[in-house]
Chains A and B, each alone.
Chain A
Amino acid sequence: SQQGEEDPQALSIQEGENATMNCSYKTSINNLQWYRQNSGRGLVHLILIRSNEREKHSGRLRVTLDTSKKSSSLLITASRAADTASYFCATAVTGKLIFGQGTTLQVKP
């Protein structure tokens, strides 16, 4: 079974708005990672947050991690049409990278 659940499953916003995606997981983790996938092709790594970290920033991305609630969120600020993609959280557990169900983001110009 998949480790992570994400919500919302789909999100549609206007360019310039912020997008927030949430991820919940079930077991203890070493780290949690976020990936982007365009049009069903390869995944691109966005950001990694370790289990002893609470918040991390990378450009327009902000990730938080709450290990007590087993949840994480990804915030994309000032979204662009090029951010349209599927976003997956992935948890690293005993050598495996297990993906959540994903959020499909559409950014309208």
Chain B
Amino acid sequence: DTEVTQTPKHLVMGMTNKKSLKCEQHMGHRAMYWYKQKAKKPPELMFVYSYEKLSINESVPSRFSPECPNSSLLNLHLHALQPEDSALYLCASSPWGQMNTEAFFGQGTRLTVV
């Protein structure tokens, strides 16, 4: 199984809502990543988890809260988002955290904040 599964595929939420994005992989990878991608732009790194510990936070606002419950799961908790946070959120995994090999990406969650 070489898949990274993200749920939901689409999400519409209000600015006062709390929601979570989920990401799962069963490749035994020990590094997992959240990226944000706006239309016609490249993916931008948000967070890196290495061996279930947060190793990189790219100065992401606190309204985005990552969580890694175990080595296969990665969540992104959303609270009090703004319309400009609407984007495609991509999860990725790699065998370990040094990016010495390819990363596997999920299909993304397309988030709309209204």
Contacts and interface: CB of A to CB of B under 8 A. Distances in A.
A59 interface: no
Contact of B99 (A88, A95, A100, A102): A95
B108 A41 contact: yes
A78 to B, nearest CB: 24
B100 A43 contact: no
Contacts of B48: 95-96
Given A43-B105, A95-B56, A101 B98 contact: no
Q: For the complex, would chain A's binding face be called helix, strand, loop or mixed by DSSP majority? A: strand
Nearest to B103: A97
Interface in A1-58: 2, 30-31, 33, 35, 40-45, 48
B1 interface: no
Contact of B100 (A30, A44, A100): A30
Interface residues of B, number: 30
B99 A96 contact: yes
B69 interface: no
Interface size class on chain A is 20 to 34
A31 B99 contact: yes
Interface stretch (B37-45, B59-67, B77-85): B37-45
A63 to B, nearest CB: 13
A20 B11 CA distance: 36
Interface of A: 2, 30-31, 33, 35, 40-45, 48, 88, 92, 95-102
